Structure 1
């Protein structure tokens, strides 16, 4: 991690919601999801929030580093229909060791749709993939 990764860094990402990011598309093999309204699924919202936080870190990680989500604590307060644009504002609120915590607010054209916190762990890709290979070998 670079020493520029400090609390106070902010970024806003905009995402146009396509029709295939609605609740019935989240797990189409589930009849329970398939029968739900055509609004942005919470699972996809979480992914959009993660993406905004990843973008916030651009330029603040060393070569070979990336982040993985380790904790999500967000609300989903208002429905968003396909065709709407979601703006996710992410702010780094703490950096503790290799753990980065963000405060987020997501809104569409009508309302705040989500608030909360997300934490990501900074990893070295090569070391992480080596550990995965060991796990995969042990599982066989």
Structure 2
């Protein structure tokens, strides 16, 4: 991790919601999801928040490092329809070793749609890929 990785790093991301990021598209094999109106799915919203946090970290990690989400504590307070733009504001609130705590707020043209916290862990890509290979039986001794 670079010395610049400190609380206060902030980033804003804009995301225009396409139709295929609505609830019926989240798990198309689920008739229960298919029956819900076409609004931004919470699962996709979480992904958008993670993306904004990853973007905030550009330039602050060493070569070979990446971050993975480890905890999500987000509300989903209002529906967002396709074509709307979600604006996600993230701010790195705390760095505790390799653990990064972000405060987030997301809104569209009408309301705040989400607020909360997201925790990410800084990891070594090679070590992580080795762990994955061990789980799949593809690790080289």
Q: Name the TM-score, length of structure 2 as normaliser.
A: 0.96
- Unpaired stretches in structure 2, ≥5 consecutive residues: none
Aligned partner of 1:22 in structure 2 is 22
| 2:105 maps to 1:105 | yes
Aligned partner of 1:127 in structure 2 is 127
Aligned partner of 1:80 in structure 2 is 80
| 2:54 maps to 1:68 | no
- Unpaired stretches in structure 1, ≥5 consecutive residues: none
Alpha-carbon shift at residue 132 of structure 1 (Å): 1.5
Aligned partner of 1:92 in structure 2 is 92
Alpha-carbon shift at residue 94 of structure 1 (Å): 0.4
Per-residue Cα deviation, 1:48-105 (whole angstroms, up to 9, x for no partner): 0000000000000000110000000000000000000000000000000111010000
Q: RMSD of the TM alignment (CA)?
A: 0.9
| SS of equivalent residue, structure 2 residue 110 | coil
| SS of equivalent residue, structure 2 residue 137 | helix
Alpha-carbon shift at residue 135 of structure 1 (Å): 2.1
Report the Cα distance in structure 2 between the residues aligned to 1:89 and 1:79, rounded to whole angstroms.
18
Report the Cα distance in structure 1 between the residues aligned to 2:132 and 2:78, rounded to whole angstroms.
38
Alpha-carbon shift at residue 131 of structure 1 (Å): 1.5
Report the Cα distance in structure 2 between the residues aligned to 1:30 and 1:20, rounded to whole angstroms.
15
Report the Cα distance in structure 2 between the residues aligned to 1:127 and 1:40, rounded to whole angstroms.
35
Alignment size in residue pairs: 138
| SS of equivalent residue, structure 1 residue 79 | coil
Report the Cα distance in structure 2 between the residues aligned to 1:130 and 1:97, rounded to whole angstroms.
22
| SS of equivalent residue, structure 1 residue 72 | strand
